[in-house]
Amino acid sequence: MQNAQGFAQQGAAWVAQNPGRTVLFTAAGVAAAVPGAVAAPFLAIAGFGAQGIVGGSVAAGVQAGMGSVAAGSLFATLQSAAMGGYGVAAVTGAVQAGAAALALGTGGAAVAQRHNQEEDGDAEGNGDAEGNGDAEGNEYAEGNGDADGNGEAEE
């Protein structure tokens, strides 16, 4: 088992090798942890304010084009979130779902890339392509001993 310093060194090496993924995982973590802090600036930029729709904003233009706003609509929910009403739960939930999708997509891409590298023989480690090595790249012999590794045949 590795000590904390070993894990920290491995983590720092991974970050140095994967700066783009590090940014995406960090963004996903922040969005999941504090979704309101992520959503509020976007609502404000769009023109959904704490006192109502901001004049001359994108939201004002959308509202002018749609006329009467139906209760429970996306527009009403966004405005409610900006004003601290019922829409907060929906918007923060949507931000957290987006964060989870970002993290899963980033992780899935990393796994797929690693798998492709292993198939191409580019992955690190000393194990061979037929599976004669463990996840850390340590080779071991196949079929040269019993389950407890002492080389004795069981009857």
1 inside domain: no
How buried is 46 (Cβ within 10 angstroms: 0-12 exposed, 13-18 middle, 19+ buried)?
Answer: middle
What are the respective helix, strand and coil percentages of the chain, to the nearest 5? 60, 5, 35
Mean pLDDT of the chain: 81
14 inside domain: no
Q: What is the pTM of this model?
A: 0.63
139 inside domain: no
**C-alpha to C-alpha distances, 30 to 78, 88, 97, 102, 122, nearest whole angstrom:** 21, 17, 12, 12, 33
What's residue 122's pLDDT?
Answer: 57
33 inside domain: yes
Average pLDDT (144-154) is 49
8 inside domain: no
What's residue 126's pLDDT?
Answer: 43
Of 85, 86, 108, the C-alpha closest to 28 is 108
What's residue 107's pLDDT?
Answer: 86
Cα–Cα distance, 127 to 134 (Å, whole number): 7
Residue ranges making up the domain that contains 65: 20-120
136 inside domain: no
Cα–Cα distance, 119 to 96 (Å, whole number): 34
Residue 150 has pLDDT above 60, yes or no: no
67 inside domain: yes
Number of domains composing the chain:
1
79 inside domain: yes
Residue 58 has pLDDT above 50, yes or no: yes
